[in-house]
Structure 1
Amino acid sequence: MQTKYYVVPQLKDILHPVDAPLKKLVTSLKNFGLDYVDIYLVHGPIHGQSISMIAQGMADCVNKGLAKTVGVANYSLEDMNKMQEELAKYDVPLATNQVEFSVLCRLPEVSGLLQACKERGIVLQSYSSLAQGRLPGKYTKDNLPPKEYRFSSYDMADIEPVNALLEKIAERHNVPISAVALNYNLCKGITPVVGVRKEEQAFSNCAALGWRLTNNEIREIDGVSFEGHATKLWQHG
């Protein structure tokens, strides 16, 4: 079980900045009917508290047995390293950094964040691993995704060469296109997070397991991939 500390400040967060992560986790556990969560993440880097304050609050969650591990989401390399160092003061490791990563957003790899995670023993999780339906072939230039699907929001006409290659590789391995896109993340050493709304989506996603793209196929995908971009407030990866 994984949940997040929502970072948009409320009055009680301002009055009790260090205790805010713990208080919110206690509320979440009551709502879930659980005694603890496996991973508790800081949802983003825009919290009003300093990283040292957030680290102390997150460490309290682990030391009180309410979270097995803690992590962050959307943290830059600099902020991630700072959080790891602050958590270490309480003998709590930083388990993960969850950022956008897919064939259409390789910024965490290009920026050096992925390599830093590997060197520091931090698991890089990817959200929007299928670019909100743009990679599995659900959307095309004639069937555009909803406007609120903002991650990796490139013109679908520009994405056609990417999906054409993924489809070619999928046929080669006899798997769905989504399985190729997710396997790409796995081959990079990334743990993909992916939404499931239908039973067939679960089966398609699971088809990414038990095999690996060849080095040549990875290079082919790299050749048509997008670097992606960060934003000032949120996507720092």
Structure 2
Amino acid sequence: MSYLAADERYRSMTYRRAGRSGVQLPAVSLGLWHNFGDTQPLEVQRAVLRRAFDRGVTHFDLANNYGPPYGSAEANFGTLFAQDFRPYRDELFIATKAGWDMWPGPYGDGGSRKYLLASLDQSLGRMGLDHVDVFYSHRYDPDTPLEETMGALDTAVRSGRALYAAISNYPAEQHREAVAVLRELGTPVLLNQANYSILNRAPEDEGLLTAIGDTRTGLIAYSPLAQGLLTDRYLSGEVPAGSRMSVGHFLKEQALTGAKLRQLRSLAKLAEQRGQSLAQLALSWVLRDPRVVSVIVGASSVAQLDQNIDALNGAPLTEEELAEIDLLSRA
């Protein structure tokens, strides 16, 4: 059955401007990191993508090595795009990245011009697109001159393979340098994508948010739920079957210490007092800062996606609540 997007898809989503650009992104974006590889049924992926767009999520975030296996998230997205979303291409903001390990040999990792542009061409092929809306350098590579990496992003934009450039996992100093190089080249740069959550405040502590504000770019937060720690899944102290912690790839069972459980349960109690889940509180907290353009959430089901988007219905955090979260997050 062909897909028709909901008529009311733009009525309730909040959109935020990316720095000084003309681009507005949904406050909640859908990340295709964990749940869109070949280990997840395609029909579940289809249901999540359709529901996201029906609720105004226009931004789909991918990378060359998302899966598993590498490349499969882009390939699966390409299949669903062709079947469901091609009529809506101009309403979508599609991102991909290159920078981490992707294929064997010296040209499948890092920040070289050789790797980034070859990877982008492969990504476009997997997704069945002639361009992405934004192409990221996925990490700062100290072994490649910054001018070379940013020059590759400039080429991606000037060749029409991407509309905007962005960076990810760049520290504050390198963020400033990268933005300066891109702007000198005349390349529109939007975002720095960084790991940011109640449990990981490095963007504040290490000056990245200050650099974001000074350069009038935007931060887009990945792992705002700390790989699932900031959800109700682990509050019992048990590790549910099928959870990220049970797989143990990025989130290890050793993270669930007694002190961590007490911290999470205290945050969950505060969330309950606000009429929110722990995940909704965590998303509200990241979005409290106007320098944050969007939070990227993963979702393995429509119900999980809906709960995350419903965080936007929560009341603004009070000064008292923010102070309590500060104490709990640094405990």
| Normalised TM-score (structure 1) | 0.85
For 2:306, give the aligned amino acid: F
Would you say the 8 A contact 1:140–1:157 is kept in 2? no
Answering whether residue 287 of structure 2 is matched by residue 186 of structure 1, we say yes
SS in structure 1 at match of 2:185: coil
Which residues in structure 2 correspond to 1:60-71 (within 5 Å)? 60-71=155-166
Please report how far the alpha carbon of residue 47 of structure 1 lies from its aligned counterpart in structure 2 after TM superposition.
Answer: 6.5
Aligned to 1:177: 278
Partners in 1 of 2:238 and 2:157 — Cα distance? 46
Aligned to 1:116: 211
For 1:53, give the aligned amino acid: E
Please report how far the alpha carbon of residue 26 of structure 1 lies from its aligned counterpart in structure 2 after TM superposition.
Answer: 1.5
Would you say the 8 A contact 1:141–1:157 is kept in 2? no
Would you say the 8 A contact 1:131–1:152 is kept in 2? no
Aligned to 2:179: 84
CA 1:17/1:139 → structure 2, altered by over 3 Å: closer, same or farther?
same
CA 1:17/1:128 → structure 2, altered by over 3 Å: closer, same or farther?
closer
Would you say the 8 A contact 1:170–1:177 is kept in 2? yes
CA 1:10/1:51 → structure 2, altered by over 3 Å: closer, same or farther?
farther
Please report how far the alpha carbon of residue 122 of structure 1 lies from its aligned counterpart in structure 2 after TM superposition.
Answer: 1.7
Aligned to 1:42: 137
SS in structure 2 at match of 1:54: helix
Please report how far the alpha carbon of residue 54 of structure 1 lies from its aligned counterpart in structure 2 after TM superposition.
Answer: 0.4
CA 1:216/1:153 → structure 2, altered by over 3 Å: closer, same or farther?
farther
Please report how far the alpha carbon of residue 135 of structure 1 lies from its aligned counterpart in structure 2 after TM superposition.
Answer: 0.9
SS in structure 2 at match of 1:89: helix
SS in structure 2 at match of 1:213: coil
Please report how far the alpha carbon of residue 152 of structure 1 lies from its aligned counterpart in structure 2 after TM superposition.
Answer: 11
CA 1:152/1:79 → structure 2, altered by over 3 Å: closer, same or farther?
farther
For 2:136, give the aligned amino acid: L
Answering whether residue 311 of structure 2 is matched by residue 208 of structure 1, we say yes
Unaligned runs of 5+ in 1: 228-237
Answering whether residue 174 of structure 2 is matched by residue 73 of structure 1, we say no
Would you say the 8 A contact 2:271–2:278 is kept in 1? yes
Q: How many residues align?
A: 226
CA 1:159/1:13 → structure 2, altered by over 3 Å: closer, same or farther?
closer
Please report how far the alpha carbon of residue 141 of structure 1 lies from its aligned counterpart in structure 2 after TM superposition.
Answer: 6.8
Which residues in structure 2 correspond to 1:1-237 (within 5 Å)? 1-8=94-101, 10-12=105-107, 17-46=112-141, 48-140=143-235, 142-144=237-239, 145-146=245-246, 147-150=248-251, 154-189=255-290, 190=292, 191-210=294-313, 211-226=315-330
CA 1:10/1:82 → structure 2, altered by over 3 Å: closer, same or farther?
farther
Pairwise CA RMSD: 2.5
SS in structure 2 at match of 1:125: strand
Unaligned runs of 5+ in 2: 1-93, 240-244
Please report how far the alpha carbon of residue 46 of structure 1 lies from its aligned counterpart in structure 2 after TM superposition.
Answer: 3.1
Partners in 2 of 1:150 and 1:172 — Cα distance? 28
Would you say the 8 A contact 2:237–2:256 is kept in 1? no
Would you say the 8 A contact 1:182–1:208 is kept in 2? yes
CA 1:156/1:128 → structure 2, altered by over 3 Å: closer, same or farther?
farther
Q: Deviations over 1:165-191 (max 9, x none)?
A: 332232233222211100000002322
Partners in 2 of 1:152 and 1:103 — Cα distance? 19
SS in structure 2 at match of 1:209: helix
Would you say the 8 A contact 2:235–2:265 is kept in 1? no
Percent of pairs identical after alignment? 27
Partners in 2 of 1:206 and 1:182 — Cα distance? 9
Please report how far the alpha carbon of residue 49 of structure 1 lies from its aligned counterpart in structure 2 after TM superposition.
Answer: 2.2
SS in structure 1 at match of 2:113: coil
Partners in 2 of 1:134 and 1:49 — Cα distance? 35
Displaced runs of 4 or more, over 6 A: none
CA 1:151/1:60 → structure 2, altered by over 3 Å: closer, same or farther?
farther
SS in structure 1 at match of 2:312: coil
Aligned to 2:29: none
Please report how far the alpha carbon of residue 52 of structure 1 lies from its aligned counterpart in structure 2 after TM superposition.
Answer: 0.7
Q: Deviations over 1:7-65 (max 9, x none)?
A: 44844469x94243222212211110112112211111236421110000011111122
Higher mean Cα deviation, 18-27 or 179-188?
18-27
